[in-house]
C-alpha cells in the first residue's frame, strides 16, 4: 500500500498534463498529526479544483467529501479570503492480483502560492475490470474520511488555527504570513461551488 501511495505523489503536478492515470513515484508519503486541542476551523481553505476521476465519480465524491470535511470542523472561504488553497486529484488503478486501488493527492497551497503540504493515501475497492466502475459509496466515503482527516490534521498545526485557539506555550504565532481568516459570517461550510 505504501508503494502505491508513493506512486500517487506526483500526480497533481504531472498526471493531467501527460494524461497518465498512474504517475511515477516522486516523494515519500507524509501523514500530518493533529495538534491536540486545536481546531482546524481557524485556517480557512478554498477548494480550487479536484480532478482526475470521471465526472460521474467526482459528482459522487464531492458531496461526500464536503460533508466529511465539515464534520471535521474544516471551514472554507473564497480564494481571495482563504488562508490556504486546496487542489485535489483522484486516481484509480488495478493493483496486485486485479484488486482496484483508489487514491487521492491533495496539495495545500499557502496564500502566496507556495505549496505547504501534500496529502496522499489510498483505499482498496472490491471488483476487477475498469477501476472506476468498482467504486461504491463505501470506498468513496473511506477515501473522503482519510483525506478530510489528513487535511484537518494539517490545518490544526497552522499559525492561523493556533491563533484562533489562543496559541499555546512554546509556540510562536507571529510568523504567520497569511491574512487572518474571515469573520464568522464570511466562513462557510466546505462546499464545491468554487471548484473548477
Furthest-apart CA pair in the chain: how many Å? 54
pLDDT at site 120: 93
- State phi, psi for 70 to the nearest 5 degrees: -60, -35
**Residue from 99, 122, 111, 110 nearest 52 by CA:** 122
Instruction: Say whether 117 sits in a helix, a strand or coil.
Output: strand
pTM score, whole prediction? 0.71
pLDDT at site 85: 93
For the cut 70, the answer to whether the pLDDT of residue 160 exceeds it is: yes
pLDDT at site 188: 46
pLDDT tier for residue 84 given thresholds of 50, 70 and 90: very high
Determine which helix (DSSP H) or strand (DSSP E) holds 110, and give its type and residue range: strand 100-110
For the cut 70, the answer to whether the pLDDT of residue 21 exceeds it is: no
Distance of alpha carbon 157 from alpha carbon 163, whole angstroms: 10
Render pLDDT for 98-150 as a digit per residue (tens, 0 to 9): 678 889 999 999 988 899 999 999 888 876 667 888 788 888 999 999 999 99
- Comparing 168 with 127, which gets the higher pLDDT? 127
For the cut 70, the answer to whether the pLDDT of residue 180 exceeds it is: no
**Residue from 13, 12, 10 nearest 25 by CA:** 10
pLDDT at site 167: 56
Query: Edge-to-edge strand order for the sheet containing 75-76?
Result: 115-125, 100-110, 84-94, 45-51, 75-76, 188-189
Distance of alpha carbon 128 from alpha carbon 134, whole angstroms: 7
What are the grid coordinates assigned to 101, written together?
486501488
pLDDT at site 24: 32
pLDDT at site 28: 41
- Comparing 32 with 105, which gets the higher pLDDT? 105
Distance of CA 23 to the CA centre of its chain: 18
- Comparing 155 with 169, which gets the higher pLDDT? 155
For the cut 60, the answer to whether the pLDDT of residue 196 exceeds it is: no
In the structure, how many helices (H) and strands (E) does the chain have? 5, 6
Render pLDDT for 34-79 as a digit per residue (tens, 0 to 9): 888 888 888 889 888 999 999 999 999 999 998 998 999 998 888 8
CA quadruple 47, 53, 4, 93: dihedral, nearest 10 = 170
Can you tell me which residue has the cell 463505501?
Answer: 138
Distance of alpha carbon 7 from alpha carbon 117, whole angstroms: 17
Q: What is the DSSP letter of 129?
A: S
Amino acid at each position: 500500500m505504501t508503494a502505491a501511495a508513493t506512486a500517487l505523489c506526483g500526480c497533481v503536478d504531472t498526471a493531467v498534463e501527460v494524461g497518465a492515470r498512474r504517475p511515477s513515484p516522486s516523494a515519500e508519503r507524509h501523514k500530518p498529526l493533529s495538534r491536540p486541542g486545536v481546531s482546524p476551523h481557524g485556517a480557512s481553505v478554498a477548494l480550487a479544483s479536484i480532478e482526475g476521476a470521471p465526472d460521474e465519480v467526482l459528482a459522487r465524491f464531492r458531496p461526500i467529501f464536503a460533508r466529511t470535511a465539515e464534520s471535521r470542523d474544516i471551514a472554507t472561504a473564497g480564494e481571495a479570503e482563504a488562508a490556504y488553497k486546496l487542489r485535489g486529484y483522484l486516481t484509480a488503478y488495478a493493483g496486485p492480483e486485479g484488486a482496484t486501488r483508489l487514491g487521492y493527492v491533495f496539495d495545500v497551497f499557502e496564500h502566496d502560492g507556495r505549496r505547504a503540504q501534500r496529502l496522499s493515501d489510498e483505499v482498496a475497492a472490491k471488483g476487477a475490470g475498469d477501476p472506476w466502475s468498482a467504486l461504491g459509496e463505501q470506498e468513496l466515503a473511506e477515501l473522503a474520511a482519510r483525506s478530510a482527516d489528513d487535511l484537518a490534521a494539517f490545518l490544526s498545526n497552522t499559525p492561523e488555527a493556533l491563533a484562533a485557539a489562543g496559541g499555546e506555550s512554546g509556540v510562536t504565532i507571529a510568523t504567520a504570513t497569511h491574512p487572518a481568516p474571515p469573520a464568522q459570517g464570511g466562513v462557510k461550510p466546505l462546499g464545491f461551488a468554487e471548484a473548477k
